[in-house]
Amino acid sequence: GSVMADEKFQLLHPEGKQAPRIDREKYDLMRATLLQLIPQDAEGVPLAPLSDRVIEALTPEQIASIGKIGWHTMAVKLDMEARGEIERVPGATPQRLRRKS
């Protein structure tokens, strides 16, 4: 059937807290972008500049359609952690992320 343009996607939270629902298109775009930016190597990538890297990876049109990039980066990052797609590098301070193989 046809997908509604404003279809919502329920995010998960790694600690089981209530997570927001966001537009499915925004989720898919943010998730794909984060998967590109977060490596599988043991070092991972620092969380701090991640939203800046997301902005660099997206077109101006995509940025405008998503809205608050920093907020969406954190929300989708937590969802991907909850789903076991990414993990925090143990013992790394400040926080670093890597993809789970």
SS3 77: helix
**Cis geometry, peptide bond prior to residue 94 (ω within 30 degrees of 0):** yes
Residue 91 gets the label, from left (phi > 0), alpha (psi -120 to 50) or beta, of left
Q: What are phi and psi of 65, to 5 degrees?
A: -75, -30
Reported as a single tens digit per residue, the pLDDT across 53-93 is 999 999 999 999 999 999 999 999 999 999 999 999 999 99
Tell the residue number behind the tokens 């984060």, with chain if given: 34
Report the candidate in 56, 49, 15, 4 with the shortest Cα–Cα distance to residue 33: 56
Q: What is the DSSP letter of 64?
A: H
Q: What is the pLDDT of residue 67?
A: 96
Burial of 34 (0-12, 13-18, 19+ CB in 10 A): buried
Reported as a single tens digit per residue, the pLDDT across 23-63 is 999 999 999 999 999 999 999 999 999 999 999 999 999 99
